[in-house]
A and B are shown apart, each in its own frame.
Chain A
Amino acid sequence: MSDPASLGPTAGVAVPASTDGRPARRPHGVAGERTVAVLAGGISHEREVSLHSGRRLAAALRGVGLDVREWDVDGALVDHLRADPPDAVAIALHGGEGENGSVQAVLELLGVPFVGTPARACRRAWDKPTAKAELARAGLDTPDWIALPHTTFRALGAQAVLDAMVDRLGLPLMLKPDQGGSALGAQVVSNRAELPAAMVSCLAYADTVLAEQFVSGVEVAVTVVEDEGAPRALPAVEVEAKGGVYDYTARYTPGAAHFHCPARIDAATAATLADVALAAHQLLGLRDVSRTDAVVDAAGRVQILEVNVSPGLTDTSLLPTAAAAAGLDLGHLYARLVDRAVARCFT
């Protein structure tokens, strides 16, 4: 495939070559293939998932001819961005600084184009209670909720507050850390006696707990992409967790959850679902790509559970499933988003 003679002074060093024999790594600014830095890893609880997402995204982008670097978010990142500036950054970080807008803010500060939601909108979408309040204010359905920090329970007395919470939300209820993904720390609580222990476990992930009314129904995820300009919804993916709960193990063990795409819902509901996901995407100021997780309840209402600015891209993740069902290659999809990110910087 590669022609050693054309490699010149770099012969003997492992330089990947593109199909036309040119060295794949080109100095920045030279016309030709785009350079993309995929950010993955980080130091959040979801580092493992992010590393999987990053490797998958990097391989997909290389598969469509882009020149990809893979960088962790650490003390070397800013130096990397300065010394070897890519045409754009694609963020495959989950949890923490990769989704709360911190990394995005730094990229904006350095003037580096990136795929995804701007920093300020990330911060809003990342904090689940904030995002839910915005969605509800705009008339979108989301399960009733209460978000409280540990300090409030401590100051006011936990039992009385928990009682009031159960009176309002009923049982079972859902407990989640107010920030973070991959269902880490999320639990369904079926009876009042289990609630204090579940609170303690949840508070190991975050200082504030989001308690939500539990909504049973068809669990779905809708990916929104802006690869063709205006946001469009990909077919909804229905999740059927074998054990009944779509927890971390069900999410990342192949075979532990079945995906149905398109979801087993009627056409009208599917259309509503797409509208809801698009509305959430636009309302929260999301950009390029997002995933809205929702439940279609017994009455056929679409209730938004959460909105993700950095959807998982692992082998068992929902976005790649939706893309495949829509006939989209993950590499081509993200390459178009990279193009958009670069173009944005010149407009």
Chain B
Amino acid sequence: MSQHLVPATERFAARTAGMTASEIRALFAVASRPEVVSLAGGMPNLAALPMDALAGEVADLVAREGHVALQYGSAQGRPELREQICEVMALEGIRADPDDVVVTVGSQMALDLVTRIYCDPGDVVLAEGPSYVGALGSFAAYQARVVHVAMDAHGLVPSLLRAALETVRPRPKFLYTVPTFHNPAGVTLSVERRAEVLAICREYGVAVVEDNPYGLLGFSGHTYPALRSLDRDVVYLGSFSKTFAAGLRVGWALVPPAVRDRLVLAAESATLCPPSFTQMLVSRYLAAHDWRSQVKTYTEAYRDRRDAMLRALETYLPPGCTWNVPDGGFYVWLTVPEGVDTKAMLPRAVTARVAYASGTGFYADGLGSRQLRLSYCYPSPERITEGVRRLAGVLAAELDVLHTFGNPARPAVGRGPQAPSPSTP
């Protein structure tokens, strides 16, 4: 008798081929242990939220409006919240009609739905290189092919975007971009380039999907004009995860009217409707609390953490490392000395009780082995300093081993998802 376990696996769709167990991802399990300084995750810091006041809002919401909050709602989202979302977007220069806003379960769901609407298997999506790992996951799930366009200190490089549009076939369906305080690269598309990128995409007939979860978290006290503020055809994705609370899973898409109806139907087939309860809580929070001050408080905390990380990088890292100075958001993108493979080095880091996200997870094409992403959003400044100190020791030990073996060229290590899950600290 021969026993075959889990025969259901034989019936899986081809698009699940990349959804496998991963040696690298498993290593992040230790990030939740207090001994480990995790610079790997992207969890927002909620320490500054007024929990008592929110508890009152939740109690009042259930007591007064429970019959609505606990009921199905509109697939497009509650009208009151969509109006408030337009006020939030106005801070980055966007003038929008609430009718064109679709509320989703986090902007991740909006991204998934937009990809569902635009991409057949084999279609091409352009994305910055590196790019947000959650977007790469969505594109892979719809079997879209990602072609990366490189960035420099001022964001996406327009000439490279043009070159890609000239050469890549089939013609890309859209450009996916995080123009402001990029995840993972930490850079921002300069104001001058914004119009240029939009013009190029318009010229080649390629849609633009702008993902902007960090736009209000700038450290210099100003915002950048959203791409959507310059071009009404941009598909814009927004989120309350970083400005209020990630656990509520409230995000949105602002789309041109021609896209909207299809997006609403796609959303309906995915979830019927976004949760009324969390939408109403966000509405109450925006209406009754000084949420702009809360965002300022968040931003100040993130700036302190960024400063701690930059100081530690200057103090501890060995020669040959380079990094950007982010002016907002959560991340520093670090390039390590030649020969080091950050994915292969991760187990050494875990042994030394520090975790980071290795660079290859942010590329669909295998690049990024010399890069890693460091998050400063969650740990305290003291822990960040200690984490970077440990990372420096890990790099020194890795360089020592590399030197022993003559800096060999490195093959790819491991399979499956390479980046930490959302619940990684």
Question: B-contacting residues of A (Cβ < 8 Å)?
Answer: 41, 43-49, 51, 74, 150, 153-154, 158-159, 182, 184-185, 194, 196-201, 203-205, 247-249, 251-256, 258-262, 264, 315-316, 321, 324-325
Contact = CB atoms under 8 A, between A and B. Distances in A.
Given A200-B344, A205-B347, 15 more contacts: A154-B404, A182-B26, A184-B23, A185-B347, A196-B408, A197-B411, A199-B401, A200-B410, A205-B348, A252-B26, A254-B6, A255-B9, A258-B5, A262-B1, A315-B6
A74 B30 CA distance: 12
Given A249-B23, A260-B2, A200 B405 contact: yes
Nearest to B416: A249
Interface string B314-344: 0000000000000000000000000001001
B33 interface: yes
B12 A255 contact: yes
A53 B21 CA distance: 15
A258 B404 CA distance: 39
Interface size class, chain B: 35 or more
Contacts of A262: 1
Contacts of B345: 204
B3 interface: yes
Contacts of A158: 404-406
B169 interface: no
Contacts of A249: 20-23, 414-416
B3 A260 contact: yes
Given A184-B347, A203-B401, A248 B3 contact: no
Contact of B20 (A44, A159, A256, A324): A256
A48 B26 contact: yes
Nearest to B394: A204
A185 B350 CA distance: 13
Contacts of B8: 254-255
Nearest to B348: A204
Nearest to A242: B9
Given A43-B30, A74-B33, A204-B398, A153 B414 contact: no
B26 A49 contact: yes
A316 B21 CA distance: 11
Interface string B1-17: 11111101110100000
B55 interface: no
Contacts of B403: 154
A48 B29 contact: yes
B5 A154 contact: no
B21 A259 contact: no
A176 to B, nearest CB: 13
Interface of B: 1-6, 8-10, 12, 20-23, 26-27, 29-30, 33-36, 341, 344-348, 350-351, 353, 398, 400-406, 408-411, 413-416
Contacts of A251: 21
A259 B2 CA distance: 8
Residue with the greatest number of chain A CB neighbours at <10 A, chosen from B405, B410, B411: B405
A143 B414 CA distance: 25
Contacts of A194: 411
Nearest to B405: A196
Contacts of B2: 260-261, 264
A262 B26 CA distance: 30
Contact of A196 (B5, B30, B406): B406
Contacts of B10: 255
B30 A248 contact: no
A248 B414 contact: yes
Given A201-B344, A259-B3, A248 B35 contact: no
B347 A159 contact: no
A201 B344 CA distance: 5
Residue with the greatest number of chain B CB neighbours at <10 A, chosen from A43, A46, A51: A43
Contacts of B347: 45, 184-185, 204-205
A210 B398 CA distance: 18
A6 B408 CA distance: 69
Contacts of B29: 47-48, 51
Contacts of A256: 9, 20-21
